[in-house]
Amino acid sequence: MLHFECDYTGGALPEVLEALTATNGEQTPGYGADIHTGRAKELIRSLCGAPDAEVYLAVGGTQANAMVLDALLGPSEGVVAAETAHIGVHEAGAIEASGHKVLTLGQHDGKIAAADLADYLRAFYADDTWPHMVIPGAVYISFPTELGTLYTRDELRELAAVCRRYELPLYVDGARLGYGLAAASCDVTLADLAAEADVFYLGGTKQGLLMGEAVVARKGLLRNFFTVMKRHGGVLAKGRLLGVQFCALLSDDLYLRSSRWAVELAMRLREGFAARGYAPLVDSPTNQQFFRLPNALIDRLSERASFGYWGPRGAEASAVRFVTSWATTREEVDGLVALLDEA
């Protein structure tokens, strides 16, 4: 079976597993007070050019989102997000579980436009019944988005400017951040992100760790965040597992190297499909590629490859998603494309 259903079907990058093995015999203090975690945080601050940033290592993305937004939002506040945002759709109400509403905006290929955000905020406060409504308390975007697209640096800055005008923290979900930074068209750097976002997380699970996400926050913003994490069940007893893995991922350019690999294969896949008449549904420069394919083709491909529907199955044709990762091989991509020619 050729695996394209997501970027977490594999285990870990070999370097990551080796680092875990190499450090397995060590005895370290729990809950992230170990030296590996300390070093990982330093590495991240350094890569972000943000020496004052606070870094927290979390286990998973849904949890990171829930913990950060729990810390950012007051009791009367919700988070503004695209209607396609992962937090509003596929996280089982984890934001609502802390009492907060997800306030949705229309999206453009998975992105929210600064102008739309500004319009929404202006209209919100222009409506004199606003105190009866959930107050926007933070803005969530994903980078790359759920549709694989990227904000340009200008778009990011414009969004951040609107956020600052309304004193709303901007939070960026970077579950697939590496695949975004590695995209040919990406003009955003980690330092840009650290400068424009108030909080973001640099995803590890989808980038070759067993699990782990690194939350990076403006100093002082996330009050008592260790305790917030603990109350969410989000503090790992053997915290060093996260530290050791991030140290390995962020050394020797492994993070970007492995991301670039996945993105190159995604482009190869996309070109293979396009050359056979299947234009992508979304112009995604990252590791997720979307196509509308005839159901008959989908059924045939499914016998040899795994991938997912994107939305409900249509009458004749359906939208599907193919995802590459650090673990994808060229042979897999070529094998998938070759399947298009069969029949």
204 versus 285: smaller Cβ distance to a second copy:
204
89 versus 282: smaller Cβ distance to a second copy:
89
31 versus 166: smaller Cβ distance to a second copy:
31
Torsion angle, alpha carbons of 296, 299, 300, 301, to 10: 120
CB of 195 to a second copy, least distance (A): 27
Amino acid sitting at position 332: E
State the alpha helices, DSSP H only, in the chain: 14-23, 35-47, 61-72, 86-89, 94-97, 114-126, 153-165, 177-181, 190-196, 225-231, 240-249, 254-275, 295-302, 330-341
Residue 192: partners with Cβ closer than 8 Å, 6 or more residues away: 153, 156
CB of 9 to a second copy, least distance (A): 4
CB of 97 to a second copy, least distance (A): 5
91 versus 198: smaller Cβ distance to a second copy:
91
CB of 274 to a second copy, least distance (A): 26
188 versus 305: smaller Cβ distance to a second copy:
305
b/e per residue, 165-201, with b = 16+ CB within 10 A?
A: ebebbbbbbbbbbbbbbbbeebebebebbbebbbbbb
Amino acid sitting at position 63: Q
CB of 209 to a second copy, least distance (A): 9
Q: Which of 7, 37, 5, 100 is nearest to 240 (CA)?
A: 37
Q: Counting Cβ atoms within 10 Å, is residue 265 exposed (0-12), middle (13-18) or buried (19+)?
A: buried
Judge whether 228 and 221 are in contact, CB under 8 Å.
no
102 versus 159: smaller Cβ distance to a second copy:
102
CB of 312 to a second copy, least distance (A): 5
Q: In what order do the strands lie in the sheet with 308-309?
A: 288-294, 317-323, 308-309
254 versus 327: smaller Cβ distance to a second copy:
327
d(CA 170, CA 238): 30
d(CA 245, CA 248): 5
Which DSSP category does 172 fall into? E
| Beta strands 308-309 and 102-105, pairing class | unpaired
CB of 99 to a second copy, least distance (A): 5
21 versus 46: smaller Cβ distance to a second copy:
21
d(CA 161, CA 334): 43
CB of 183 to a second copy, least distance (A): 22
CB of 120 to a second copy, least distance (A): 11
171 versus 278: smaller Cβ distance to a second copy:
171
- CA 128, 129, 131, 136 dihedral sign is negative
